[in-house]
Amino acid sequence: MINTPRYLGVVSHPAIGIRLPQVFLRGILYAYRLRRVAGGLMLSFGRETAPEYVINAVPGKYEISMGHTGTSIKEYLTLGAKYARKAGVLVEMEADHLTVTTSSAQAVKRISGVKEYVEIGDEDIERALKYIFSEVDEAAQTGYVNFFTIDACELIDYSVERLSGEDLKKRFRDVFGNNKEKILSRYINKRHLFIGSSGKSFRLVFSEEEVMRLALKYYRSLITTVRIYDYLEHRIRWPFGIEIAFDETPVITEEKDLLFYLRELWELNVPVDYIAPNIGFEKKQDYRGDLKVLKKRIERLAAIARTFGALLSFHSGSGSTPWSGKGRGVYDVVKEATSRDLKYKVSGIYFELLLELMAWQSTGSRPRKLYEEVYDAVIDYVRREVKTRGPLYSEVMERQLKEYEENIEKTQDPYNPLADIFRYYSFIALNLRDRSGDRPYRRAIIELYEEDEAFRNLVDREVADLTLRLIDGLGFANNVDKIE
């Protein structure tokens, strides 16, 4: 019997979110096995999953976006491990996005195209860490978690970018005291030479002002990352890996920023296997920028990460439909620019696929009826959220709702699975509760999958095909041969 799940080490692989483990695991594991792929199974701890005390709490006690899949940490880890063992597939169970945030609604907004920033105080950090530690505890208790992605993006201080001259120097002195020379010496007059996958080399040269700005910009994020790592080290008694989520920032990651962050983490003894920069990918959208620019950007960031023994991880990996990859040519660019050594993450796209499959069934059939119920519930929720300016409200949400309503007038179809308002907020359906605390839509979807054989076979096949497109598109086949 193979030893699964376990920490995979630094190896090119996909990591897939299992929002409804009971529904998605068969197809995903079938594809992993068929292509001899060792891969990740994950959920985001900042949003998608939560500890049982949150999942089982009375409705309304926690924000709806917290653990919005209705799948607890214990449940996805246990089911992931159980199914993988049964299928004989090597997997790593990941705790994605341990996010230091003021609220999970905030974290959800970050990924819905809303770039809205709030100041985080020290008390907020303590509260966020307490929550993260409780999540780690539940994960540790299962014995199955092997990987953690730390996300302290919200603690990046962009305001220092406006500082210069004496103001900057004073602030730097105040914060770093006796350490300031040491920090500067790590960057000033150093060679910092890198060689990209195309063979082209490049140098990064830092000015004193740049180093001071970087240090001030990142120090809270860095020290908080260390605190999370220390907790993991103390709590997890078996091999595990670390990824740094650097992707949910409002700007594309600069080369010097990536170098600085990795160099400082190295100094702080945090071993980094993967780092996820913001390379301009938006969730649920194909990449529409210039592919040459993208390639150069990835090549250079990958070269920097490599000098620290780390690979790039690509988040927001899904495109505008389950069939579009990340848009034409994007997988090839990602593959070439990283010399085929990368980690690639997708999650929400599997739930979108499931809803589309339900939408395709004939009018009046069980899957189609459930699909319409789910759709109505999501639109109802969004309407209320817009009307009451609730925690998930944003101008983007309001605009998407308006577009949806205008479109119904034209098409007379209130159930278009491709409507943005539905694609971006359908996730809410899994966490809508009734008075008894039940999640009726989530439960009905799982029952549909379990009881309707024809539909289950369709889902398994389409989930496997989606996974195969990902594996083949990014060249992950046979990666088990690279694992020790």
Q: Which residue is nearest to Zn ion (CB)?
A: 315
Within a 10 A sphere around the Cβ of 53, how many other Cβ atoms? 12
Query: CB–CB of 117/155 below 8 Å?
Result: no
Q: Which is nearer to Zn ion, 44 or 400 (CB)?
A: 44
In the complex, least distance from residue 108 CB atom to Zn ion, rounded to whole angstroms: 12
In the complex, least distance from residue 96 CB atom to Zn ion, rounded to whole angstroms: 7
Q: Which is nearer to Zn ion, 294 or 357 (CB)?
A: 294
Q: Tell me if residue 50 falls in helix, strand or coil.
A: strand
Residues in contact with Zn ion by the rule CB under 5 A: 247, 315
In the complex, least distance from residue 316 CB atom to Zn ion, rounded to whole angstroms: 6
Q: Which is nearer to Zn ion, 216 or 276 (CB)?
A: 276
Strands annotated E in 324-482: 343-346
Q: Which is nearer to Zn ion, 163 or 346 (CB)?
A: 346
Q: Token pair of 294, please?
A: 């993208």
The Cα 85–Cα 89 span in angstroms is 6
Q: Which is nearer to Zn ion, 84 or 342 (CB)?
A: 342
Q: H-helix or E-strand containing 410?
A: helix 395-411
In the complex, least distance from residue 358 CB atom to Zn ion, rounded to whole angstroms: 27
Q: Which is nearer to Zn ion, 75 or 96 (CB)?
A: 96
Query: CB–CB of 52/74 below 8 Å?
Result: yes
In the complex, least distance from residue 193 CB atom to Zn ion, rounded to whole angstroms: 30
Query: CB–CB of 285/320 below 8 Å?
Result: yes
In the complex, least distance from residue 125 CB atom to Zn ion, rounded to whole angstroms: 20
- The Cα angle at residue 319 between residues 316 and 452, in degrees rounded to 5: 100
In the complex, least distance from residue 93 CB atom to Zn ion, rounded to whole angstroms: 18
Query: CB–CB of 5/92 below 8 Å?
Result: yes
Q: Which residue has the tokens 């650097």?
A: 246
Report phi then psi at 478, rounded to 5: 65, 20
Within a 10 A sphere around the Cβ of 127, how many other Cβ atoms? 15
- The Cα angle at residue 469 between residues 466 and 475, in degrees rounded to 5: 140
Q: Which is nearer to Zn ion, 248 or 299 (CB)?
A: 248
